[in-house]
């Protein structure tokens, strides 16, 4: 059974339907600009801005990409993820000095901070321009894109409390910041952020604690595709050694297969049809 993609432009809070819609919006960030514009147009968004910056070596990412789509009720900014191979060193290492968090709150993983900084001024400009009728503002992304969506949402609020996002939905997001910034996020965005983890997906368990932390916003997808508000103890991974991380990030590993955005979308679609 195929579930059509519809996004409620007057949504607030959490719903399985909105999670499915924003998962598809996150997946769409991997596509080219004409495809993005055509698809969001079908979802009822009549204005789109694209955000892209290119990096040079030795920075491991080639670029950062995102798009912002607006209707007269809702604005969505979706950040594109990247291949895990490009993030492998970031995900396993805690030795790189962190970057100061927004508004001086805590610290952010250096790589994620630089990736966001490269596009954030353009994203903020687009939201400011397009938010001409008090529209709700939403962020979404998969993998690296999830990290950037979470950081963009908390930065938006901490630097201008009048711009509090209505929601942040992330999928397979790695840890991005220290405990101080995570707590600042939770104070401002409790019940507005939903961090989906699919079964054995390894990426949300990295970079390792205690240097990096997640915000308190889990939605766990079990092996049957059912969404839970907490992760059962048997599903929590032990502390990983460097060799264990390398093995888990191998292309054929189950832990990496569960990271695929298609698997997140399939599980969320299954929750809709199950209901």
Buried/exposed 104-132: b ≥16 CB within 10 Å, e otherwise: ebbbbbebbbebbebbbebbbebbeebee
Three-state SS letters, 182-248: HHHHHHHHCCCEEEEEECCCCHHHCCCCCCCECCCCEEEECCCCCEECCCCHHHCCCCCCHHHHHHH
Name the 3-class secondary structure at 30.
coil
Within a 10 A sphere around the Cβ of 54, how many other Cβ atoms? Answer: 11
| DSSP run (H or E) holding 39 | helix 33-42
Q: Which of 201, 222, 253, 258 is catalytic?
A: 201
Integer Cα distance of 182 and 98 in angstroms? 14
Does residue 136 carry a catalytic annotation?
A: no
CB contact set of 227 (below 8 Å; sequence gap of 6+): 16, 19, 196, 219, 220, 221, 267, 268, 271
Does residue 201 carry a catalytic annotation?
A: yes
Q: Which of 71, 136, 143, 258 is catalytic?
A: 143
**Catalytic positions:** 143, 201
């Amino acid at each position: 059974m195929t579930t059509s993609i519809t996004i409620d432009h007057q949504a607030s809070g959490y719903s399985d339907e909105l999670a499915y819609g924003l998962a598809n919006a996150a997946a769409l960030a991997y596509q080219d600009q004409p495809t993005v514009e055509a698809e969001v147009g079908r979802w009822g968004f009549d204005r789109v801005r694209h955000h892209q910056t290119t990096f040079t070596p030795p920075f491991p990412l080639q670029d950062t990409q995102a798009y912002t789509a607006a209707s007269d009720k809702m604005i969505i900014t979706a950040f594109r993820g990247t291949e895990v191979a490009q993030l492998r060193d970031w995900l396993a290492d805690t030795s790189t000095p962190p970057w100061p968090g927004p508004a001086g709150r805590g610290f952010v993983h250096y790589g994620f901070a630089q990736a966001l900084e490269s596009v954030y001024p353009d994203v903020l400009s687009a939201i400011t321009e397009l938010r001409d009728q008090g529209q709700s503002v939403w962020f979404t992304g998969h993998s690296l894109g999830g990290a950037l969506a979470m950081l963009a949402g908390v930065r938006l609020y901490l630097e201008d409390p009048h711009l509090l996002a209505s929601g942040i939905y992330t999928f397979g997001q790695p840890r991005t910041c220290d405990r101080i910034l995570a707590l600042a996020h939770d104070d401002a965005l409790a019940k507005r952020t939903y961090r989906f983890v699919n079964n054995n997906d390894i990426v949300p368990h990295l970079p390792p604690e205690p240097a990096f932390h997640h915000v308190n916003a889990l939605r766990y997808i079990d092996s049957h595709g059912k969404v839970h508000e907490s992760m059962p103890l048997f599903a929590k991974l032990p502390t990983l050694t460097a060799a264990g991380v390398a093995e888990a990030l191998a292309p054929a590993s189950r832990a990496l297969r569960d990271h695929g955005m298609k698997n997140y979308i399939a599980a969320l679609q299954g929750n809709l049809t199950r209901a």
